[in-house]
Amino acid sequence: MPHAEKPIARLAGAVKRYGSLTALDGAELQVHPGELLALLGPNGAGKTTAIALLLGLVRADAGSVQLFGEDPQSIEPRRRIGVMLQHAELPPTLRVGELLRLTASYYPNPRSLQESAALAGIGDLLRRPYAKLSGGQQRRVQFALALCGRPELLFLDEPTVGMDIDARQKLWAAIRQLIDEGCAVLLTTHYLEEAEALADRVCVMSHGKVIHEGTVETLRARVAQKRIRCRTTLPAELIRDWPGIGEVRQENGRTYIVTAEAEPVVRRLLEADPQLGELEVQRAGLAEAFTELTRDADEASTNPQREAA
Ligand SMILES: Nc1ncnc2c1ncn2[C@@H]1O[C@H](COP(=O)(O)OP(=O)(O)OP(=O)(O)O)[C@@H](O)[C@H]1O
C-alpha cells in the first residue's frame, strides 16, 4: 500500500546474524506516523531482533536501519520513542512513582506523573516498591514508563503477556487513546485477537523475513478456506470423497467441513440429507490465515526446489 508520509521507523534489507544463525534475513519493515503496526510470527521468526535493531540495541550486519530518518543509536530519535520490552530490568527498590519521575526526566516534554499513571491505570501503585508488585502490575508500570515521555512512536514487545483479561482490555483501551493522540505503535504479539482489536496493518514474519504485509482483512482474504458446520447423519467418509473437500471432522454430533468453495458443498449436503440442521458457513479467521501463511513459508524454506518448480 503506497503511503504519503515518510516512515518514522524503517528496516530495509536488514540482516542480522548470530554466528551461523541468521535471525534477520533481509527484513523490510516500515512504520508510519500515527499507525499501529502489529508484527506477528512464530517463535524465533525475528520479531524481537527487528525491534532490537530499530532501538539501536544491536547493529545490522547488512541493510539499513532508520529511526526518524536517523541512526537509531543517536540520542535525538531515541528521545522520541517509548519502549516496553519483554524483559525489563528495573531497580527493584525504587517505588513506582520514583521510577516514573526518573524515566520522565530523560525526555524533553514528558507527561505529568498523574497523567502517565492514569493512562496506565497505576494510580494506586505509585507508592509501592516495584519489586513487590505482581507480574501483571509490573507490566502496567512498564507501560507507564514507556508512555511517560510523550513518545511519537511506542515499541510494545508482547505487552499483555501475563495480564488477566480485564488488564489486557484496559491496556488495549489505553493504546487506542495513545493512537488517537497521534502516537504510532509497533506491537509484537502472539495473541491474534490483540492484532485484530488494535492493528491498522499487520506484518507477518517467518525465518527472518516479512512474508506478508497488509490489513487484517487482506491477511484473512489470503485464505480462501471456508468452514461449514452442520448436524447431519451423513458419514464423514462419504463427504470426504466429494470434490473440493479439504477436511471433514465429526465431533459432539456435529460435522465440520473445510472447503475452498462453500456453495456447491452446501447444495450437495442439503440434497443428500433433507434432515440436515444447524447449518453455518464461516470464513476463516486470522488464526487460520496466519497458520496457513507461516506453514507455506516453512515448506518453502525446507523444500526450496518447490519454489523453482
Ligand atoms: N543474542 C542472541 N544470540 C544468539 N541467537 C539469538 C540471539 N537473539 C536471538 N537469537 C536467535 O535469533 C532468532 C530470532 O529470534 P527473535 O528473538 O528475534 O525471534 P522472535 O520472533 O522475537 O521470537 P519470540 O516470538 O519467541 O519472541 C532465533 O532463532 C533466536 O534463537
52-56, 187-191, 243-247, 292-296: which has the minimum mean pLDDT?
292-296
Question: Mean pLDDT, to the nearest integer, of 28-42?
Answer: 93
ipTM over 0.85: yes
Same domain, 231 and 207: no
Residue 304 has pLDDT above 80, yes or no: no
**Closest atom, ligand 1, to C-alpha of 19:** 4
Among 220, 247, 271, where does a domain finish? 220
Q: Atom 1 in ligand 1: which residue has the minimum CA distance?
A: 18
pTM (2 decimals)? 0.80
Please tell me whether residue 18 adopts helix, strand or coil conformation: strand
Question: Mean pLDDT, to the nearest integer, of 150-154?
Answer: 96
- 47-81 pLDDT tens trace: 999 999 999 999 999 999 999 999 999 999 999 99
Same domain, 86 and 157: yes
Please tell me whether residue 146 adopts helix, strand or coil conformation: helix
The Cα 171–Cα 151 span in angstroms is 17
pLDDT for residue 37: 95
Residue 301 has pLDDT above 80, yes or no: no
* Residue 47 Cβ contacting ligand 1 at under 6 Å: yes
Please indicate, yes or no, if residue 235 is contained in any of the structural domains. yes
What percent of the chain has pLDDT above 90? 68
Please indicate, yes or no, if residue 298 is contained in any of the structural domains. no
Q: Atom 26 in ligand 1: which residue has the minimum CA distance?
A: 43
* Residue 155 CA: distances (Å) to CA of 21, 183, 209: 25, 11, 19
pLDDT band at 4 (very low <50, low <70, confident <90, very high): low
Residue 170 has pLDDT above 60, yes or no: yes
* Mean of all residue pLDDT scores within the chain: 89
Same domain, 28 and 156: yes
* Residue 206 Cβ contacting ligand 1 at under 6 Å: no
Determine the residue of 40, 49, 210 to mutate for testing ligand 1's pocket, defined as the one with the most ligand atoms within 8 A of the Cβ atom. 49
Residue of higher predicted confidence among 87 and 177: 177
pLDDT for residue 64: 95
Cα 236 to ligand 1 centroid, rounded to whole Å: 42
Same domain, 74 and 196: yes
Residue of higher predicted confidence among 309 and 42: 42
Question: Mean pLDDT, to the nearest integer, of 236-251?
Answer: 93
Residue 137 has pLDDT above 80, yes or no: yes
15-19, 260-264, 273-277: which has the minimum mean pLDDT?
260-264
Cα 291 to ligand 1 centroid, rounded to whole Å: 20
Question: Mean pLDDT, to the nearest integer, of 120-130?
Answer: 94
Q: Atom 25 in ligand 1: which residue has the minimum CA distance?
A: 43
Question: Mean pLDDT, to the nearest integer, of 207-232?
Answer: 85
* Residue 18 CA: distances (Å) to CA of 22, 23, 26, 49: 6, 7, 14, 11
Please indicate, yes or no, if residue 3 is contained in any of the structural domains. no
Residue 285 has pLDDT above 70, yes or no: no
The Cα 108–Cα 215 span in angstroms is 34
User: Counting every residue, how long is the chain?
Assistant: 309
86-90, 219-223, 247-251: which has the minimum mean pLDDT?
219-223
Which CATH number does the domain housing residue 236 bear? 3.30.70.980
Supply the range of the domain harboring residue 272: 224-283
Residue 268 has pLDDT above 80, yes or no: yes
Please indicate, yes or no, if residue 62 is contained in any of the structural domains. yes
Please indicate, yes or no, if residue 94 is contained in any of the structural domains. yes
pLDDT for residue 299: 74
Q: What are the E-state strand segments in the chain?
A: 9-18, 21-31, 36-40, 62-67, 81-84, 153-157, 184-188, 201-206, 209-214, 226-231, 245-251, 254-259, 277-283
Which CATH number does the domain housing residue 125 bear? 3.40.50.300
Give the chain's domain count. Answer: 2
Degrees, nearest 5: CA angle 274-279-281: 135
Which triple of cell numbers denotes residue 2?
A: 503506497
Residues 6+ apart with CB under 8 A from 131: 92, 93
Residue 284 has pLDDT above 90, yes or no: no
Same domain, 230 and 141: no
Which triple of cell numbers denotes residue 133?
A: 508488585
pLDDT for residue 307: 39
pLDDT band at 2 (very low <50, low <70, confident <90, very high): low
Question: Mean pLDDT, to the nearest integer, of 144-163?
Answer: 93
**Closest atom, ligand 1, to C-alpha of 49:** 18
Q: Atom 5 in ligand 1: which residue has the minimum CA distance?
A: 18
The Cα 220–Cα 292 span in angstroms is 10
Return the closest-CA partner of residue 158 out of 173, 147, 144, 142.
Answer: 142
